[in-house]
Amino acid sequence: MAFYLSISLCLVYREGTNTMLQSLQAAGVPVLVFSAGLGDSVSAVLRYHNVLLPNLHIISNYLRFNGLQVNGFQGDIIHSFNKNEHAIEKSDYFEVSATNFWMNLT
């Protein structure tokens, strides 16, 4: 819990970020957060600011835990040299986004 709060309180968003993310959610626009950082931290910050919304998809590096002990990373590691469309291929982002897009048109 202390980790969650310390990360969340240190981050300052640009003005209007929450409003923009909520407007995109209301309009049904998918949002991709693509980070070579720790997805656990990104998720915690977005959750703290109440903008971890259903239309928001995070592709990042997530820690793997064995109880309370960190035991590596889940899946392939994303870093600055492979942060491209190939890192997204294994996710369901495009499949979910396309499905939601066609559902909104009907």
Q: What is the pLDDT of residues 6-64, one digit of tens each?
A: 555 566 778 898 999 999 999 999 898 888 889 898 898 888 888 999 999 898 898 99
Residue 99 clears pLDDT 90, i.e. is over it: no
- C-alpha angle 48/57/82, rounded to 5°? 110
Cα distance between residue 30 and residue 41, in whole Å: 21
- Which pLDDT band, with edges at 50, 70 and 90, does 94 fall under? low
Per-residue confidence band for 2, with pLDDT thresholds at 50, 70 and 90: very low
CATH at 98: 3.40.50.1000
pLDDT band at residue 75 using 50, 70 and 90 as cut-offs: confident
CA 80 to chain centre: 17
Q: What is the largest CA-CA distance in the chain?
A: 47
Confidence category of residue 86, pLDDT binned at 50, 70, 90:
low
Domain count, the chain: 1
Tokens of 39: 């997805």
Q: Tell me which of 91 and 56 has the higher pLDDT.
A: 56
Domain limits at 36? 2-105
